[in-house]
Amino acid sequence: TVDSVVTNPKGIYVDCTLGGAGHAHAVGEMLDPEGMIIGLDQDEDALSVARQRLSDLKCQVLTIPTNFSNLKEALQNEGIYEVDGFIFDLGVSSYQLDTPERGFSYMNDGPLDMRMDKEAPL
């Protein structure tokens, strides 16, 4: 659970591997309207799903299309220099495995691509 992540309901929390936003949504439900959840993901498909899933939260929501390796720069570009907590759920998502066109699954025929960011060069 993410219960131990939220120490300040008015704080800023960053999900560095946003994916389908399950963790981010759980954190966001514990935040006040002054609180903020920031989600980073390099997969535009995941960001689209996440934005929809997070749209019912009362806290502020910011999604950033980037890899967590760019975390410091991404936050500084938004004027954020301090946060209250981070989440990293590393690895491929079930969506990526379940979508043959993404090229991650060995269970279905599809292109052998395996890029998290479909716009990244091959």
Q: For the chain, give every domain's residue range.
A: 12-102
The predicted pLDDT at position 95 comes to 66
Question: What span, in angstroms and rounded, lies between the C-alpha atoms of 55 and 66?
Answer: 20
Angle at 35 between CA 16 and CA 55, to 5 degrees: 70
Residue type at 22? G
Question: Given pLDDT bands bounded at 50, 70 and 90, which one contains residue 93?
Answer: low
The predicted pLDDT at position 102 comes to 64
Record the pTM: 0.79
The predicted pLDDT at position 100 comes to 67
Question: Given pLDDT bands bounded at 50, 70 and 90, which one contains residue 115?
Answer: low
Question: Given pLDDT bands bounded at 50, 70 and 90, which one contains residue 57?
Answer: very high
Question: Given pLDDT bands bounded at 50, 70 and 90, which one contains residue 3?
Answer: confident
For residue range 11-43, list pLDDT tens digits in order: 999 999 998 999 999 999 999 999 999 999 998
Residue type at 89? D
Instruction: Identify how many contiguous H helices and E strands the chain contains and give both numbers.
Output: 4, 4
Residue 101 has pLDDT above 90, yes or no: no
Select 12-102's CATH number: 3.40.50.300, 3.40.50.150, 1.10.1060.10, 3.30.350.10: 3.40.50.150
- What DSSP letter does each residue of 44-78 carry, written as one string? HHHHHHHHHHHTT-SSEEEEEES-GGGHHHHHHHT
